[in-house]
Amino acid sequence: MNYASSIQTTGLVALPPWRSRLLFVILLFGLLTLVARSLYLQGIHNDFLQQKGDARYGRIIDINAHRGMITDRHGEPLAISTPVESVWASPQDVEATPQQIMQLAQILGMGAKEVKSKLFDTTRDFVYLKRQLPPDQAARIIKLGVAGISLQREYRRYYPSGEITAQILGFTNLDDNGQEGIELAFQTQLGGKAGSQRVIKDRRGRIVEDVASIHAPKPGSDIALSLDSKIQYLAYRELKSVVAQHHAKAGSIVVLDAKSGEVLALANWPSFNANNRGKSTLQVMRNHAVTDLFEPGSTMKPFTVAAALEAGKITPATSINTEHGVYTVGGRKIHDTHPEAALTVAGVLQKSSNVGTAKIALMLPPEIFWRSLSENGFGAQTGSAFPGEAAGKLHDYKKWRPIEQATMSYGNGISVNLLQLARAYTVFANDGELKTVTLLKQETPSTGPKVYSAATVHAVRDMLELVVQPGGTAPLAQVAGYRVAGKTGTAHKLEGGRYVNRYVASFVGLAPASNPRLIVAVMIDEPSGEQYYGGQVAAPAFSSVMGAALHLLNVPNDAPLDNVLAPPAEIVKEEV
């Protein structure tokens, strides 16, 4: 029977043999393709599967670097980082009952609705619930056993001295990065570099194994500041007291090592606590001694006299006709608070005569006077590297009119910050050398440009000693056992282009006058009441801080312990 008759007999359709063989080949090819694909994905190109596996069981977490410590010059800690825990969740892994959510919200001090929205936000792989919790609070959260919630070790900055050093140290943010002050200025050194680590987690989101360290964290470096914590406290305490006593708006104080240019203390009031900034305003957080400008008033007069002495225009004994306290320049009148017919140059500084100082300044060509002020650092930053430091204003001499040169001689028409003014006085402590100020501890004293001759400096310093004696504007600046040289300032405040009857009272001085070790500059903003002169407000604060600081540093006396002379019933006043 042939093939055709067989089909007819059975009634079935017989398939050609080649079709079965084709089906076998197709199935075999498919199988080989699957095997090849399997080998490729698992053995050669396994990135895809690895990524999927990592997404389910693995995670790369950041390892925060420990921030460097800030200390004072003696190693006392001023800023340290303490370990804290931050609570985070992986929403895709979260399994939480309504009761657990309520308990979690209660521990975190958050609303249950807010916690729930974060826990179940599946558009995100990682979300912080709350950061920088104390260890005991973090432990209570872990005890709840909520799947998908973990802790991450972080560091929180702590400032042992609180508001005493707040404006100079600044503060860090939640990520422990510097935002203001020293913390910002030296972020690179302090911050270090964060690391990362690959871990495996279980189905409940808990880390069960550390797989590998991808990048090890690099801790930040410690920084030793030039500050002396004890002197800083003395300065802050005295400043706070004098601002309260005279119902002033604010105040600042700077203490410099006269030989090295190191800042031993720098304080402002009002202040804030960097550990709990709360509702502290940006204005309170500013380091006013460095970032804010004011007209220095009569504290500029020694530089006018020094410029004229250096130029050979005067000597300390030169008599100046002070015009009975009224002098007209360019149609504008310059007044003295205490009129005198004539004064020696030494008397001009002692009595703080505006007329005498203006006449001395006008003896100099504008360019010479400008260059002398510029070489003292006015109109330029101090080199402290503090963020936001103001450079001050010293106008181009080519645009000066005689009246502007005259008023600038006693501190009107020029602006400075307090650190800049304190630095300028280093020329009177170092035979004419202007020191570069620094906020970091120095092993060797800094050097600076030579501005005046030693003879000029000694002459000015001798005259500045008369200022603190009875008959001068600052007998309240005297310090028992030490000779003091310094200058007062009482400047009207400039508002809207006009001088108003609000004042900035200041005093800058150095001691011991025979061989200066310290410079203290005090500025009180808007003292109210009858006492608003620099000699009444700032000079006593100078005396307290200078005396205590000299004793702390064991500086030898250069005068008898009973050298303080009683001031007269009425102190010589000044006003510009």
Q: Which amino acids are annotated catalytic?
A: 298
DSSP type of residue 433: B
Radius of gyration of the chain from its Cα atoms, rounded to whole angstroms: 37
> From CA 266, how far away is CA 268, in angstroms rounded?
7
Ordered DSSP codes for 496-521 = TTEEEEEEEEEEEEEESTTS--EEEE
> Which of 463, 455, 510 has its CA nearest to residue 345?
463
d(CA 446, CA 434): 10
Q: State how far the Cα of 85 lies from the Cα of 130, in Å rounded to an integer.
A: 9
Cα separation, 400 vs 396, in Å, equals: 7
Neighbour count for residue 2 (Cβ, 10 Å): 7
Closest CA to 522 of 544, 501, 495: 544
Would strands 319-321 and 223-224 be described as parallel, antiparallel, or unpaired?
A: unpaired
Rounded-to-integer distance, Cα 222 and Cα 208, Å = 34
Q: How far apart are CA 130 and CA 234, in angstroms?
A: 39
Instruction: Give the pair of three-digit tokens for residue 457.
Output: 């400096």
Tokens of 58: 């693995």
Residues in CB range of 476: below 8 A, 6 or more apart: 535, 536, 539, 540, 543, 567, 571
